[in-house]
Amino acid sequence: MPTPGTSTDAATIAPIPADLAEWLAGRVAAYLDTTADAIDRDLPLAEYGLDSVYALSLCGDIEDTLTLVVEPTLAWDYPTVNAMAAYLRAEIERPAAT
């Protein structure tokens, strides 16, 4: 299984959103058909009824936008927007593995 934090292709890195939590809340909101400010960033996503398996799809968005390969279970291990954002921030800032 690919390891977290392995960036896919350094050459194609798109601009990384400055406010990761804001960006994530936007993605979650899209799945819930609502707006980003309606998302409490400290509430577990499951509370919104976001099916836990569906939350896996978030990792596709992350891969696309942040060019970070993350475990599909990211949203399980970091169940709130803020927790996930903090984790992603740390991963981005970590020097790329070979």
Partner 1 sequence: MRYSAFADAERLERALGDPGDPAAVFSYARCADLDDADEFPAEICRALDEFGLARHYVPVEFGGGLADYQDCLQTMRMVARRDVTVAVAHGKTYLGAVSVWVGGTRAQAERVGALVGAGVPVSWALTERAHGSDLLAGEVTATPEAGGYLLDGEKWLINNATRGAALCVLARTSAGGGPRGFGVFFVEKSALATESYRHLPKQRTHGIRGADISGVAFDGALLGPGDLIGGPGAGLESVLKGLQLTRTLCCALSLGASDHALGVATRFALGRELYGRGLADLPAARRVLATAFADHLLAEAVSVVSARSVQTLTGEMSVLAAAAKYLVPTRTEAMIARLRRLVGARSLLRDAHEHGAFGKVERDHRIVSLFDGNTLVNLNSLVNLFPILVRTADKGVEPDAEGVRAAATVSLPLAPARHERLSLLPRRGSSFLLGLPAAVAEIEALAAHDDRLAPLAASARTLLSTLDDLYAVIRAQPSVPVAVPTSSFVLAGKLAACLGAAEVVQLWLRNRDAAASGPNAALWRNGVWPTLALDRLLAAVGVSAPAPDSMYETAFAVLREQVGAGLLPSLFDVRLAEAGL
Contact positions vs partner 1 (CB under 8 A): 1-2, 30-33, 44, 46, 48-57, 59-60, 63-64, 69, 72-73, 75-77, 79
Per-residue CA distances from 21 to 9, 12, 97 (Å): 23, 22, 24
Task: Give me the least distance between CB of 10 and partner 1, in Å please.
Answer: 18
Residue linked to tokens 């981005």: 92
**Cβ closest to partner 1, residue 29 vs residue 92:** 29
Task: Give me the least distance between CB of 57 and partner 1, in Å please.
Answer: 5
Torsions phi, psi for 93 (to 5 deg): -80, -15
Task: Give me the least distance between CB of 74 and partner 1, in Å please.
Answer: 10
Q: Distance (Å, rounded) from C-alpha 70 to C-alpha 57?
A: 11
